[in-house]
Chain A
Amino acid sequence: MLRILKYTLALLLLLILLNRPAVGQEAGMRVRGPRIGVDLASLALLYFDPGRMTLTFSADYEAWQDIYPVIEFGYQTVKLEKDIYQYQSNGIFGRLGVDVNLLKYEQTNVYEMFYAGFRYGMSYFTHKANDIVIPDDYFEGISDAYIVENQLNAHWISIVGGVRAELFDNLFMGWSVLANIKLAQVKDTNMVPYNIPGFGKGDRTVSMQINYTIAYRIPTQTYKPRKIIKKKEITAEPESIPLQE
C-alpha cells in the first residue's frame, strides 16, 4: 500500500510539473475539471496506530458553480500482533456525496473553498483472529484457537466541513472533518471489528475523522459563472415629501 501511495504522489508531482496555464483563462471565465486527490492524514496517523494503514483517494468536479459532486474510495488493512492473539482485517470503502462552497468571491478565478457537504458511505471488509491464547488456572487453557474469516459490511452517512486552498495553478491542499453516523452493520457475534474502513472504530455508532488532502485539478473546460450580486450601498434617507391636501 505504501508503494501505491508513493506512485500516486509521484504522479501528482508529474502533473504539477507538466502543468500549463488554465485552459482558456479569459477574463470573467471560470476553469473547471476533475480534481483527483489523496489523503495524507492517514500517513501521519500511522504514528499513533501503527497496526492500521488506510489509503484514501478522492475525485470531485465543479458540476455547477460552487457545487461539487464528490466520490471518495479507499482501502484499509489492520494487523495486530499480540501475545494472546493475532488479528487481521482488510477492506474497501466508498463515499458518495456533494460539497457546497460557502465562500463568495467577486473574482471568478478564485477557487479557495470553505465548504460543507454530506456523504453516503459503505464498506465491505473481512476480519479474523488466530493464535488465540486463553489461560485457565483450573481447567486446561487453550493456545491455538482461531476465529474463521468473516465477511462484514457497514453503511453510514457523514456530515462534512472543510477548507481547500489553491497553492499553485490547479494544485489544491486542504483539510476536512467528517462526522459519521452509522446506519447499519452486519455484525460478528465473536468479535467487534477493530476499525471499519472509511468509518472509524467498530464499536461506535458515531465517529469523527480528519482528512488532509492534496489534489490536482485537470483543467478541461471553462464556463461563464453567474454574476455575484453586490450588496446595495446604503445612501442617505430621501427627504420626506409632504402630503398635499
Chain B
Amino acid sequence: MRRIHFILLFLLVLPLHSCQEEGICTGVEVARVKAGFYVRSDGPDRDTILNNVTFYGSLRPDSLIYDSAFNLRELSFPLPNDEKIDVEFNFKVDSLTDIITVYKSSKLVMESFECGFVTHHNLNVLVYQNNIIDTIVVSDPLVNLIDVENIKIYISPAVAVDTAQ
C-alpha cells in the first residue's frame, strides 16, 4: 500500500478518536420541587389558580420564594442540600397559613464533568395542615433537573378563587 494511503487513512480516523472534549457549563442548576394546584370535582380533577400567595422556608422568613403572587398555578421551590431529612415551609394564601413539612432523602449526583454535581431528592412523606390544603398527593417523588410535576396540592374549595380553563 502506498505511503499516501497510510497518511490519508490516519487523518481520516484521527477525529474519531475518543478525545475528552472540554465542554462549557452554561449555568449551575438546582433541583426544585414542582407542585401544581388542583380542585377535586365530581369529574376529572381540575387545575386551579391562587391569588395573594406567599411561600417561604420556615427558617428563612427573610427570603420569600413567592411574595403575594397572583394568578399562581404552581409552586417551584428548592430543598436543602444537606442530609437533614425534614424541612418546613410556610404556605400562606390571604390570611390563611398552612405549614408543610417535607420529609426527604438526598443524594449527590454528577450533572456533568463541566458543571459538577447537583443534589437530587426523594420525597418520602409530606405532612400538612388543612386551612388551605385539602390533600397533597405525591405524583413523582424524584426531584431532579427534569421539569416534571412532583406533587399535586388539592386546595379546599372554599379557598380556590378561580378554575383554569
Interface residues of chain A, those whose CB is within 8 Å of chain B, are 45, 48-49, 52, 80, 82, 84-85, 87, 103, 114, 129, 132-136, 138-142, 145, 147, 163, 175, 177, 189-192, 194-195, 200-201, 204, 207-210
Contact = CB atoms under 8 A, between A and B. Distances in A.
B117 A140 contact: no
Interface string B45-64: 00000000000010010010
Contact of B110 (A177, A191, A201, A209): A191
B18 A200 contact: yes
Nearest to A132: B117
A62 B136 CA distance: 71
Contact of B18 (A80, A87, A136, A208): A208
A200 B19 CA distance: 8
B79 interface: yes
Contacts of B78: 136, 138-139
B81 A140 contact: yes
Contacts of B118: 134
Contacts of A208: 13, 16-18
Interface residues of B, number: 32
Nearest to A180: B18
Contacts of B79: 139
A195 B20 contact: yes
B117 to A, nearest CB: 5
B20 A52 contact: yes
Contacts of A82: 116
B63 to A, nearest CB: 6
7 contacts: A45-B17, A129-B117, A134-B108, A177-B16, A200-B18, A208-B17, A209-B17
B117 A175 contact: no
Given A175-B10, A208-B13, A45 B19 contact: yes
Contacts of A103: 1
B82 to A, nearest CB: 6
Contact of B117 (A49, A84, A201): A84
A147 B120 CA distance: 14
